């Protein structure tokens, strides 16, 4: 079995440079855990419009992690997942999915489908980050 434990937590600690290491770890892991377990996260509920605020929070967290990892050695799993997560969030935001509602006749079926795909990709990539980073329960 491939060991997915990675060096992300120590890297987050070095990158945050605030508070005690355990407190910084708890904050970073807590943010990933909270987003992953949110109604729009691992539970796969809500329309793109319902989940727009959640995607915005995932976007902010992802940008912060990406900035923190610049110039640092990062486990391969994370270096592969983080850009995918950023792309999925970017696609969701570019499509203005917060405006797309299932019963909204002004939304085209194609746009709805693309927003659903971007939301599913965001959920999947955040799940990959959660499990790759071995976030404690």
pLDDT at 103: 55
Q: Is the per-residue pLDDT at 128 higher than 80?
A: yes
For all residues of the chain together, what is the average pLDDT? 75
Give the separation between CA 114 and CA 116, rounded to whole angstroms. Answer: 5
Give the separation between CA 36 and CA 3, rounded to whole angstroms. Answer: 21
Dig out the tokens for 136 from the structure.
């404690």
Q: Which of residues 42 and 103 earns the better pLDDT score?
A: 42
Q: Residue-wise over 32-68: b if at least 16 C-beta within 10 A, else e?
A: bbebbebebbeeeeebbbebbebbebbbebbeebeeb
pLDDT at 99: 82
Q: Is the per-residue pLDDT at 20 higher than 50?
A: no
Q: Is the per-residue pLDDT at 86 higher than 80?
A: yes
Supply the angle between the helices 21-37 and 48-69 in degrees, to the nearest 10.
150
Weakest mean pLDDT among 39-48, 80-89, 109-118: 39-48
High-pLDDT (> 70) share of the chain, %: 70
Give the separation between CA 32 and CA 131, rounded to whole angstroms. Answer: 10
**How confident is the model over 57-78, as pLDDT tens digits?**
999 998 888 888 788 777 788 7
Q: Is the per-residue pLDDT at 88 higher than 80?
A: yes
Q: Mean pLDDT throughout 22-30?
A: 59
pTM: 0.74
Q: Is the per-residue pLDDT at 84 higher than 90?
A: yes
């Amino acid at each position: 079995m491939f060991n997915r434990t990675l060096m992300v937590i120590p890297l987050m600690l070095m990158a945050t440079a605030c508070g005690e290491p355990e407190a910084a770890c708890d904050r970073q892991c807590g943010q990933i855990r909270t987003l992953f377990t949110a109604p729009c996260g691992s539970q796969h509920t809500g329309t793109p419009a319902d989940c727009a605020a959640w995607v915005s929070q995932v976007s902010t967290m992802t940008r912060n992690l990406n900035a923190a990892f610049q110039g640092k050695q990062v486990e391969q799993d994370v270096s592969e997942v983080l850009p995918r997560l950023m792309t999925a969030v970017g696609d969701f935001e570019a499509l203005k999915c917060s405006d797309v509602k299932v019963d909204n006749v002004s939304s085209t079926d194609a746009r709805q489908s693309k927003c659903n795909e971007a939301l599913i990709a965001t959920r999947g990539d955040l799940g990959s980050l959660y499990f790759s980073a071995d976030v404690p329960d």
